[in-house]
A and B are shown apart, each in its own frame.
Chain A
Amino acid sequence: MKLDEFLESRTPLLPGNFNLTHEELVKFFWKYKGLQLDFERNNTFWKATNENLTLAYKKLDEQEKELEHVYRLIQEDLNVAHGIQKALFPTFSREKNMPFELAFYNKQLDQVGGDYFDFFTTRQGYNAIGVFDISGHGVSAALIMAYLKSQFMLIMENLDSPREIIEHINNISLPFFKRIKRYVAVNLVVFMNNVISYLCAGGFGMLIHDGKIHTFKKNHNFLGLRKGSFSEYTLPVLHNDLLVLYTDGIVEAQDEFQNDYSVKRLNKLAYQHRNKRVSEILNICLQDYIAFRRYDQDDITLLILRF
Chain B
Amino acid sequence: MCQTLEVFGALVMGYAQACLNLNIIAGKKVTNFLNEIQPTSWYPLSRWSELEKIVLQSYTNADAILTRVGMEMMFSWYNYGPGKGIINRGVDFLHFQTSSEGYASVIKGTSDQVGNFELKSINEDDGKAVVQSTTPFNRKMECGVLIGGMKAPGDLDYVDVVNNSNNSDIITIEFH
Contact = CB atoms under 8 A, between A and B. Distances in A.
Interface of A: 26-27, 30-31, 33-34, 37, 41, 44-45, 47-49, 51-52, 55-56
Given A41-B67, A45-B68, A34 B157 contact: yes
B159 interface: yes
A48 B62 contact: yes
Most B CB within 10 A of own CB, among A30, A48, A56: A48
B157 A48 contact: no
Interface residues of B, number: 17
A26 B68 CA distance: 27
B41 interface: no
Interface in B58-115: 58-65, 67-68
A48 B158 contact: no
B157 A47 contact: no
B47 interface: no
A45 B60 CA distance: 12
B176 interface: yes
Contacts of B147: 41
A30 B151 CA distance: 13
Interface of B: 58-65, 67-68, 147, 156-160, 176
A27 B157 contact: yes
**A interface: dominant SS:** helix
Q: Which of A26, A27, A34, A55 has the most CB of B within 10 A?
A: A34
A45 B64 contact: yes
Contacts of B61: 44, 47-48, 51
A37 B64 contact: no
A45 B59 CA distance: 11
A51 B61 CA distance: 8
B74 to A, nearest CB: 14
B64 A47 contact: yes
A52 B59 contact: yes
Contacts of A48: 59-65
B159 A34 contact: yes
B59 A51 contact: yes
Nearest to B58: A52
Given A31-B157, A31-B158, A45-B68, 17 more contacts: A33-B176, A34-B156, A34-B157, A34-B158, A37-B158, A37-B160, A41-B68, A44-B61, A45-B64, A47-B64, A48-B60, A48-B62, A48-B64, A48-B65, A51-B61, A55-B58, A55-B60
B25 to A, nearest CB: 11
B160 to A, nearest CB: 6
Nearest to A42: B68
A33 B147 CA distance: 15
17 contacts: A27-B157, A30-B157, A33-B157, A33-B158, A33-B176, A34-B176, A37-B158, A37-B160, A41-B64, A41-B67, A41-B68, A44-B61, A48-B60, A48-B61, A51-B61, A55-B60, A56-B58
